[in-house]
Amino acid sequence: MVLNIYNTDIQLPEQPPIEQIECWGTDNPKEQYWRRKPLPEFFEQVEYDKNGDALLDSQQREYAMEQVKRCRDGFWFMNNGIPTYITGKNYFYLQFWKLEDDIYPDYRDLDRRYFLYLNHWENISWCLGVLIGKKRRQGQTSIGTSNLVYECVFFKNSNCGLTSKTEKDAKTAFTNMVAFGYRQLPVFLKPKQLNNKDSVTELVFAHKSVNVKGGKGSTIDNDTGHRSKVDYRAPGKNAYDSGRLTRGLFDEGGKFPLDVPFSEFISIVSKTMVKGVKKVGFMECPSTMNDMTKGGGAEYKKLWELADHVKYQRTPNRMVKYFTPAYDGYVGFIDKYGISVIDSPSPEQYDYLVENFVGIGDLTEEDVKLGARDYLINKRQGLEGTLLEEEIRMNPFDEREMFMSSMQGSVYNTFKINEQLDWLNFNNNCVERGNLVWENGDEFYKEVIHNNGVREIKINKLQWIPNPNGVYEKVMGWMPKEMNNVYQRGGYFAPNGNYAVRIGCDPFKYDKTKDNRKSNCAAYAYQMEDLQDPNNEYNEMFVMKYVDRAATTDIQYQYVLKMAWFCGCQVLFERNVNGWKKYFEDKLCANFLMWLPGEVEPGIYSGGGGAKTVQQICDYTEAYIEKNINKVYFPSLLSEHSGWLGFDVADTQKFDDAMAAGFALIAAKTKRYYKPQEIKKTIESIMPYNKAV
């Protein structure tokens, strides 16, 4: 059986015969769920030899060997009638790892999926670790500390390390989780500690601590748990920079101090996990995020983007990433079988959640009815500004929310932008792709010669042809009010629907942006507010776009001209690059170029001394976001990469979408056209009166 967990196909081991699967002593599926089984009574008394090693009798040894096998190979059990497999590390964690609050973990399907994912990547030769984006109090540090000690128990010469965002946090994790958890292990899983048992900096283990009465065999093979140790260190770029590290837990990397860039830390520590070409170590790096401007969030994000195992066959930093939404495994919304109650619960789930969670905190019966997702959405409703963004980062629904930028220092209202991006994630059928095709194959016009020799120019029309690979996108259902409304004047073509739609365009030239990235040509069409039709759903909306890197500059101009012809309106180009002027003139379409009031040529200037234009774009965009953000259906316009979310007034060159939309807003706000009115004629023009003489 293959499970797909976070874009990774995980092969499960072959299911054993049903009679060999733990059924918890019942055939009733409703009573089949994970239960931690305490040590048998025959372990209440264990003998020790003069060296302090435990002496197990045959009964104790048989039990211990079975538990060791489960910790290595994994375990099958029935869960609500379903055969369910957990990895050896997961079994060790559930059965033997005591948490810092002196209880054992509950079974959660959220954790099961993570352990399966972890096991898969641990066995990939090039992979050195996993970055884990998480919600607040997910329990990932507890899992990571369990895995550190597991390494020391089951593998010889293990050298394990732990650090966190501060030395205090690292010490707390070590003493309250690593050392405490180790002390609670049963004797057959507890290697003898060589150093002071009360050490608060490291645990150093002997090679074995168990013998069989009257024999020499060890419960755990002699080559396991051999000269292993685990310690913690304060966060620093060189905290683990030499020797060999077989297991690392680097907690809260997204909150590392600014003078310890987490990406540099991981680059250095990675070198301790390889020997030549051979992989000798693995790390887990769980974290929630700090404000991108105040902590290590931006550094963690650098690593995250390079750890994309979908984008890269082998990631550049040899890491992979893992994320689950906050509503998955949220405490208070986990049923009897460890399954997350994300949406409205079933009656059975509702009764269980009310009985176990209502009354022990602020959760109410009405909250339970919502399910975890809507409960968390409701929690956001009463918050504003940075408090809201902090709540979202601590309980993110997706990767983008995990790295939500702070409003402080941001040009636009990032909360509103992110909120709209969220909405688009669940409403992804708002736009369609397509091409604009000339109706009869003739570009612009067709000359017709009548029988009487009179020549007539028939202006052609463009048709919208849906195509998933088309170069244009438009809002689903929208078509221009003045579609193909073009007329000929003085031998030139001119649009006749400027009152309805405006287009802004940020073209490219052949140089690259500051980050060595080739920019796109971006053009956005904006439908004007129509006071005579105030209920039109497309009023004050970006309705169509063209964003692409065409093979030549002329091809980009061709696509933009077709867009303007189709909409029957003018285009406001950025004139830092003005090859478009000659192209439009050559096509007899210079009238499609917009002139702003007071300008001596068409277009608008934004580079160098164009700070005024950029400020104008910011002002219009900010106002638009506050009033009409819910009308934006193009994710790229909202995005951090080229849109409003990441917009930087000091480096506008790479924000193609944001600039093109800004030019469209300037075109809409600074120049007004009126709807052409049909000339009214008196009745005399049809049936003239005879005048009296």
Give the alpha-carbon dihedral of 375, 378, 383, 388, to 10 degrees: 60
| Distance, CA of 371 to CA of 350 (rounded, Å) | 9
pLDDT tops 80 at residue 606: no
pLDDT tops 70 at residue 681: no
Provide the pLDDT for residue 294.
54
In tens, the pLDDT along 34-75 reads 999 999 999 888 888 877 778 889 999 999 999 999 999 999
C-beta of residue 251 within 8 angstroms of C-beta of residue 164: yes
C-beta of residue 465 within 8 angstroms of C-beta of residue 437: yes
The average pLDDT across 237-265 equals: 91
| Distance, CA of 133 to CA of 120 (rounded, Å) | 18
Provide the pLDDT for residue 633.
97
- Neighbour-count burial of 367, counting CB atoms closer than 10 A to its CB (0-12 exposed, 13-18 middle, 19+ buried): buried
Lowest mean pLDDT among 79-83, 398-402, 480-484, 523-527: 398-402
C-beta of residue 247 within 8 angstroms of C-beta of residue 148: yes
The average pLDDT across 592-599 equals: 92
Tallying the residues shown for the chain, one arrives at 693
Q: Which residues contact residue 415 at a Cβ distance below 8 angstroms, ignoring those fewer than 6 apart? A: 384, 385, 388, 389, 407
Lowest mean pLDDT among 61-65, 137-141, 197-201, 592-596: 197-201
Q: What is the pTM of this model?
A: 0.70
In tens, the pLDDT along 410-429 reads 678 887 888 898 889 888 89
Provide the pLDDT for residue 441.
85
Of the candidates 571, 587, 578, 549, the one whose C-alpha atom is nearest the C-alpha of residue 671 is 571
The average pLDDT across 183-211 equals: 74
DSSP for 314-357? S-TTSEEEEE--TTTT-TTSB-TTS-B--SSPPHHHHHHHHHHH
The average pLDDT across 168-177 equals: 93
The average pLDDT across 513-536 equals: 81
In tens, the pLDDT along 525-579 reads 999 998 888 899 999 999 999 999 888 889 999 999 999 999 999 999 998 778 8
Question: By three-state DSSP, how is residue 620 classified?
Answer: helix
In tens, the pLDDT along 285-337 reads 999 876 655 557 788 888 999 999 999 999 999 999 999 999 999 999 999 99
pLDDT tops 90 at residue 408: no
Mean of pLDDT over the chain: 87
The average pLDDT across 100-112 equals: 95
pLDDT tops 90 at residue 470: yes
C-beta of residue 547 within 8 angstroms of C-beta of residue 520: yes
pLDDT tops 90 at residue 205: no
Distances in Å between the Cα of 465 and the Cα atoms of 141, 348, 470, 478, 548 are 53, 50, 9, 13, 18
- Neighbour-count burial of 679, counting CB atoms closer than 10 A to its CB (0-12 exposed, 13-18 middle, 19+ buried): exposed
